[in-house]
Amino acid sequence: MDLLLYPSSISFKSHASPPRPNFPNFNSKKSRNFLRNPLIWRQNCRIRAQSSNGTAGDGFVLEDVPHLTDFLPGLLSYPNPLQNSKAYAIVRQTFVTPEDAVAENIVVQKDSPRGVHFRRAGPREKVYFKSEEVRACIVTCGGLCPGINTVIRELVYGLNYMYGVDDILGIEGGYRGFYSKNTVSLTPKLVNDIHKRGGTFLRTSRGGHDTNKIVDNIEDRGINQVYIIGGDGTQKGADLIFKEVEKRGLQVAVAGIPKTIDNDIAVIDKSFGFDTAVEEAQRAINAAHVEVESVENGVGIVKLMGRYSGFIAMYATLASRDVDCCLIPESPFYLEGRGGLFEFVEERLKENGHIVIVLAEGAGQDYVAQELHPIDEKDASGNRLLLDVGLWLSQKIKDHFTNVRKMAINMKYIDPTYMIRAIPSNAADNVYCTLLAQSAVHGAMAGYTGFTVGPVNSRHAYIPIARVTETQNTVKLTDRMWARLLASTNQPSFLNSNEVIPEKADQETMEVVNDMRITSI
């Protein structure tokens, strides 16, 4: 069948372009002069499969990512150095074919359209950079997460060992490091053991994104590959950098590597560091369980990360098996009345003599807003500062049972947030980070740009940055995973009461709480 691009037609094939006579060497380290051409790329184009007679075929849609040849049409390509690699010599098929795609949805019904697909990640037969002319840079932005150092290490190793790139810069201190900090030259020897440490070897910061200053610095330094590790706001910044690079007609590949410990990035299966966070969260849950089991009427509350998405709380609860109740931002709950949290806590105390509650930091913010006056403040990334629901809930439960039920309880409150963020990644995340980094390197060397990389249905793919930033991944209360949690804890769903929130906060306060979204980079 013929594959047609709307609004204009292209064939679904490699981006190799025929050589053009007297084409300038704009990759030269000596001159670092970049070719500038008119902008012709239309981002987020889709390729839809059609039969040869023009009628709709099987509904195959490819959400493609930008390529340097889309706005530098005469760009030269070169044989991939991996064809001479000893490591890849034993691989049956060294290179990913242009037709390889990864399906966004793999559960389909008979005769249903094949749906959206993404380009499969991996090495291509042709590259658009000479190894000796590459100057790459790596930057980390936003909050900490297990695995950042592993990604940095594997980017350096991938560039150097697979493609022979020696010129790799580390941008220190986040986005503002492009124009206000010194860089560090990264070598395999320098980053050899950084994966054993938590945090980020390059240090990080929030905010500081100035697109023009950043791209000016990229151009001045002769950087032609940019690897950006960060979350939602950071990836939005990467998209702006790509668009400015495209506007200026620079031969610069911009690759995003999504990072968020909350696992709230859309499209991809999960974010790196998530498995490590769940594993470490279990230690806190186990500590709470030991504490409350050892006293009479013990109530243990463990607050975990999860500003808008309760994945860590949900998976840690399922993995632990010691949790009686899990509260997440997606699921409203109420305290008083039949079927409320207070009644459930009392039942568990009478039945077992103790209870463990796991609480995501974004849960119950509407409740807290009724009693506390939220301060309309944001961090440097534009995130509104959350109220401390953990301390609030601990006090509410203690007050209710002491003053209303006349029961003595032993409250144990644990907040392991920063301990979880700061640890090194576990074995599973280390493997995952290696695949992410190598996939990003393969994509940039192959000339793709303005993309992010991640697993889609267990296959790594190149995804348009806009797709992973247009919405957030959240726990769906109608999915089986949440039902599995309810079946495991035997907690109420808190969805059947007509009085989910007995007293609504004033409209102004609720607007502040409901507006807790990233509004800047």
Q: Are residues 118 and 262 in the same domain?
A: yes
* Strand duo 115-120 + 459-464: pairing: antiparallel
Task: Write down the pLDDT at residue 377.
Answer: 58
In whole angstroms, give the CA distance from residue 215 to residue 141. Answer: 16
Per-residue pLDDT of the chain (521 residues; tens, 9 = 90+): 334 343 333 344 445 444 433 333 434 443 344 333 433 333 455 554 443 333 345 789 999 999 999 999 999 999 999 998 888 888 888 999 999 999 999 988 888 898 999 999 999 999 999 999 999 999 999 999 999 999 999 999 999 999 999 999 999 999 999 998 789 999 999 999 999 999 999 999 988 899 999 999 999 999 999 999 999 999 999 999 999 999 999 999 999 999 999 999 999 999 999 999 999 999 999 999 999 999 999 999 999 999 899 999 999 999 999 999 999 999 999 998 888 999 999 999 999 999 999 999 999 888 887 776 655 555 555 555 567 899 999 999 999 999 999 999 999 999 999 999 999 999 999 999 999 999 999 999 999 999 999 999 999 999 999 999 999 999 999 889 999 999 999 998 886 544 444 443 344 444 444 444 433 34
Domain co-membership, 195 together with 252: yes
> Whole domain around residue 303: which residue ranges?
274-423
Q: Which residues have a Cβ under 8 Å from the Cβ of 277 and sit 6 or more positions away?
A: 145, 146, 261, 305, 312, 420, 421
Q: What is the CATH number of the domain that holds 184?
A: 3.40.50.450
The CATH number assigned to the domain holding 377 equals 3.40.50.460
pLDDT at 234: 94
Binding residues for ATP: 143, 206-207, 231-234
Q: Which helix (H) or strand (E) holds 140?
A: strand 135-140
For residue 329, being part of any structural domain is answered with: yes
Q: Is 399 a catalytic residue?
A: no
pTM score, two decimals? 0.84
Total domains present in the chain: 2
Output the known binding site for substrate: 260-262, 305-307, 361, 418-421
Give binding residues as ranges. 143, 206-207, 231-234, 260-262, 305-307, 361, 418-421
Q: What is the DSSP annotation of 47-105? A: EEEE-TTSSEEEEEEEE---BGGGT-TT---EE-GGGG-TTTTT-SS-S--TT-EEES-
Same domain, 233 and 289: no
> CA-CA distance, 278 to 305, in Å (whole number)?
10
Residue 384 and residue 302 in one domain: yes
- Kindly state whether residues 404 and 431 are assigned to the same domain: no
Q: Which of 262, 264, 275, 429 is catalytic?
A: 262
pLDDT for res 180: 86
According to the model, what pLDDT value does residue 370 have? 72
